Structure 1
Amino acid sequence: MYAVIRLRSTAVLLALAGLVAAPVPALAAVPAQPGPSLGFDLDAATIPELQQRMDHGRLSAVALTQAYLRRIDALDGKVHAVVAVDPAALRAAAASDVRRRTGHTLGQLDGIPVLLKDNIDTRTLPATAGSRALPRSRPAADAALVDRLQRGGAVILGKTNLSEWANYRSTHATSGWSGIGGQTNDPYVLDRNPCGSSSGSGAAVAATLAQVAIGTETDGSIVCPAGANDVVGEKPTLGLVSRTGVVPISAEQDTAGPMARHVVDTAITLSVLQGRDAADPATAAIPANQPRDYAALLRPGALRGARIGVWRMAGQDADVDRVVQDAVRTLTSRGATVVEVDPPYQDQIGAAESPALLTEFKRDVNAYLTHRPGHPANLNELIAFNRKDPVELSKFGQELFEQAAAAPSPADPTYRAQRATATSLARRSIDETLAAQHLDAIVAPTNSPAWKTTYGTGDAFVLGSSTPAAVAGYPNVSVPAGFAGPLPIGVSFFAGRWADARVLALAAAFEKAAPARRAPAFIPTIG
């Protein structure tokens, strides 16, 4: 099974890489707090700070990668965020160090360890979507986004757990659980839920198990785990990042995006991820003038003179209301004009989105599985596999799989009307709100405090603001904003199509004005 090939020992990885390195500390010697063995706070360090240290010879990519591997060894037994580490990670880090010594670095991600959600294809590790039906799935090629990361010099550290099939198997699914990886825990309170299908990516970054992780989102699966795990997550404009080699739910909404502890790291990673791909037609629409270096456009004073709509979603959770009010005070104190808004059409968007996704999932997952010989070849075969497997249906069922199998074809007029309604109304909900109030962006609560993880009844989700941007295909970035006790709450900045630079700049200015993130304490439970 997949778990058997986990290679978490740093010593094993060093041997595989053929490297000569300093002795690896025993597991008991690994510090529980970030970074003392490196001489600085790894949790707080940004990519530019790491690059500066490497440029001045105070840090190497191998030492940085070792530090993250040791933390995985020491801490992931509590969080269960990482399902496998890449045996080539230290070899890639050593190659980065050679490039640096010879003056041939590949950019701001060179030597930076990155984790990938386990629905992203890599040749070195299986791509399972968390399913026991695909434990030995070895793609013939890396996903396009992985190729871009590698060409940018990033060190692929391994794979993160996810909500199985990106949380699209059951109406009663529990976020963070998969048949391959088990249950990912929220590192702030371990019996609480990490939210969304990119749960492992969010939890791993929060626990400082990598500098950056890549998540994917159809509706909320980047921004919600970012909010619940007190990190930054950016869901890009649809088409900005190629989906080739990523297990799909819907080509009309799916996108991959970066998750990190700092907005600047998210911006740097997005700059590397983005680009056209002939195999993903959505990327052909990237404007010729789309920025190529988002980090260069981050300005501490970006909020001054900005007009921000605040969508409070008030009255559902008192802690969320307090955090949003604190965010409003921060925005106004930094010179922004805040306007109360309530984006229209939300009920109609949801009513059309749900049935449309059923048709799109069947279409797109069947197309993906045709390239995975030796495993279930289509959705019906996945359903049959799960019925026979002793683990897959042990926590919850596969109602969405069964509904998708019975869904109409993409040529069906009802489906076509549902998709047109969902997308057009989602775009109008944002575009009309921005235009009516002359706004630069909308800010809203990303998440309510994390709920206790249980099985059989689904997630105890209270609120989220992801749907308009997700269904519209517009950019959305979540940034830490506050806490309910020890549980993080984020706020999201979203705006119109291709406005990724704008929302990142606003989020970075907010982050600097009101730094809310703190490292997790791995509390077992709370009352």
Structure 2
Amino acid sequence: MKKKSMIKTFVTSSMVLTMLMAPTLGFANGNSANAVSKNEKASSAVSKNVTAGLATGIQSFVIEETTIEQIQKALQTNKITSVELVQMYLDRIEKYDQNGPTINSVLTINPDALEIAAEMDKVRGKGKQGPLFGIPVLLKDNVDTKDNMPTTAGTIALKDNYASEDSWVAKQLREAGAIILGKANMSEWAYFMTTGVPSGYSALGGQVLNPYGPETFSAGSVGGSSSGSGAGIASNFAVVAIGTETSGSILSPSSANSLVGIKPTVGLVSRTGIIPLSMSQDTAGPMARTVTDAAITLGVLTGVDPTDPITETSEGKALTDYTKHLKLDGLEGARIGIDYNFLSTYNEATREQKRIVEEAIEVMEAQGAIIEEVTIPRHTYTSQVLWYEFKHNLNDYLKTVSDNVPVRTLADIIEFNKQDPDVRMKYGQIHLERSEALSESLEDPTYLQQRADDIKYSRELGIDKVMKENNLDALLFANNRGAGIPAKAGYPSITVPAGYSNVGMPVGVTFTGMAYSEARLIELAYSYEQNSKKRVAPLFE
């Protein structure tokens, strides 16, 4: 039996004991039979902790801008319990996400989060515990979880899509001890539904706002498609989030929300259980407030997954601990290339981006980096590969959904949306229709030629060529302005907060490298972060 997920429903401190004493119907950590099955004993013990915590721990512990290390230290020294911690995040979400500035970043709250936290409190200190033990995380709502939360991709057609299995990402997080606090709102269908729609909008979840200017910045300023993941972590609604990227969807909302975002090499993190767009470009990655937290989370996500064969390419290249590469002197002697064509200025926003990147370069040079001006060969990329792969991959995914989901194919989704167009397809569905019009076969000659061109111009004549010829450690961009090239190549990038425009809009610098260069990119990013420290949390009244 599925416990109803708490979509846009929030728990306040006064409700904690009632929730914990309610009958146990299953747990969103996938261990419904083994978690807090004897609810009377659990609720009795937890109620004492919560009562004490509301009077002591919660008042003295500050969650704003707190890190994984700080939380784990507080938990280990009994300054706070997992239940108290989760409750603090739930209270903050209730106060600022659906009230106050109404950031609207969290689509679904895990109805079992407090019960999972109670189990964490029971086992803390007993045996080996993972690197994310007790850490509340958000998942973009295209990542399957076998629990009481649906996986919707922001679309009404999938509002009752409860997965029968955890995604690889969810499984890895749970094994590392993370508490999945909820699902984050996102651009519908990973921003591949139509054109002319603001980033961060979905028919199911509505519009996500940028916490740095919820009343003043334009709707799409939050970035996407991992919009809720970005806005939610920037707003301190959880510690870290998982985003996904096909082209810019981690880098864009991370830079727009003054976050660190890592877009891994395609193959480093399994896509099993993620609603697909393009299997040649899709990847999942961490979004966090610090390079350290992002590096810790990335190490949790890696591994070879037989159900996603491309992960076999990561064998011998992936790490399970990227914190070894958190080097303060990581920029010393680094050769970093920049193509100023990607910093062209055509309005005030881009002029501010250029100013901030130039200031960042000064920091890098002061740390011993060598900045080389380079030219990345131009190529006009199309959406053909995405249209072909979206239809093929999505139809495969829809074969696995439960009977209460009313669609089984992309064609079904298009017709479903037409039944209530003002609500289900407010901005249209041109990408869905273009994809449906093409062959589902990935042996189609047009697809094969387009994919070959993408690889040739993004890798051989693009990133590989420029970096090898100039002996570079990385390429440097503002925000996600160069994201399309590593997206086509399947190569990694990491973005780091670099400052704010004259109107307060966050700007990031992005380091891009060749395949499986995440460790080196983390060295560069950490060194820049620690020597600049540009992130400032958004302020809510």
The partner residue of 2:192 within 150, 168, 175 is 168
Equivalent position of 1:150 in the other structure: 174
The aligned amino acid for 1:76 is D
CA distance in 2, matches of 1:91, 1:505: 38
CA distance in 2, matches of 1:175, 1:25: 39
Q: Percent identity?
A: 40
Q: Does 1:113 align with 2:136?
A: yes
The partner residue of 1:358 within 363, 380, 387 is 387
Shift of residue 471 of structure 1? 1.1
CA distance in 1, matches of 2:344, 2:9: 47
Shift of residue 98 of structure 1? 2.5
Deviations 1:152-203 (A, max 9, x none): 1000100110001111110222211111111100000014321111000000
Equivalent pairs, count: 494
Larger RCO (CA within 8 A; separation ≥ 6)? 1
8 A Cα contact 2:478 2:508, kept in partner: yes
The partner residue of 1:470 within 447, 469, 487 is 487
8 A Cα contact 2:57 2:84, kept in partner: no
Equivalent position of 2:267 in the other structure: 239
Shift of residue 56 of structure 1? 2.2
In structure 2, the residue corresponding to 1:157 is in which secondary structure? strand
How has the CA–CA distance of structure 1 residues 38 and 215 changed in structure 2, closer, same or farther, with 3 Å as cutoff? farther
TM-score by length of 2: 0.87
Shift of residue 13 of structure 1? 5.5
Equivalences for residues 118-517 of structure 1 within 5 A: 118-124=141-147, 125-191=149-215, 192=217, 193-312=221-340, 313-316=342-345, 317-345=350-378, 347-348=379-380, 350-351=381-382, 354-374=383-403, 375-393=406-424, 395-408=426-439, 409-428=441-460, 429-447=462-480, 464-484=481-501, 485-517=503-535
Equivalent position of 2:76 in the other structure: 55
Equivalences for residues 65-80 of structure 1 within 5 A: 65-77=86-98, 78-80=102-104
The aligned amino acid for 2:291 is V
CA distance in 2, matches of 1:176, 1:298: 32
The aligned amino acid for 1:415 is Y
How has the CA–CA distance of structure 1 residues 364 and 12 changed in structure 2, closer, same or farther, with 3 Å as cutoff? farther
8 A Cα contact 1:7 1:87, kept in partner: no
Shift of residue 478 of structure 1? 0.8
Shift of residue 37 of structure 1? 4.6
CA distance in 2, matches of 1:136, 1:153: 27
In structure 2, the residue corresponding to 1:357 is in which secondary structure? helix
8 A Cα contact 1:303 1:335, kept in partner: yes
8 A Cα contact 2:234 2:258, kept in partner: yes
8 A Cα contact 1:480 1:491, kept in partner: yes
CA distance in 2, matches of 1:14, 1:144: 33
The aligned amino acid for 1:377 is R
Deviations 1:91-137 (A, max 9, x none): 222222233232x2422200000001111111220011111111111
8 A Cα contact 1:3 1:83, kept in partner: no
8 A Cα contact 1:242 1:275, kept in partner: yes
Deviations 1:497-522 (A, max 9, x none): 11111111211111101111111125
**Structure 1 gaps, min length 5:** 30-34, 448-463
The partner residue of 1:15 within 8, 14, 18 is 18
TM-score by length of 1: 0.90
In structure 2, the residue corresponding to 1:169 is in which secondary structure? coil
In structure 2, the residue corresponding to 1:197 is in which secondary structure? coil
Q: Which moved more, 1:54-63 or 1:376-385?
A: 54-63
8 A Cα contact 1:7 1:86, kept in partner: no
**Over aligned residues, Cα RMSD in angstroms?**
2.1
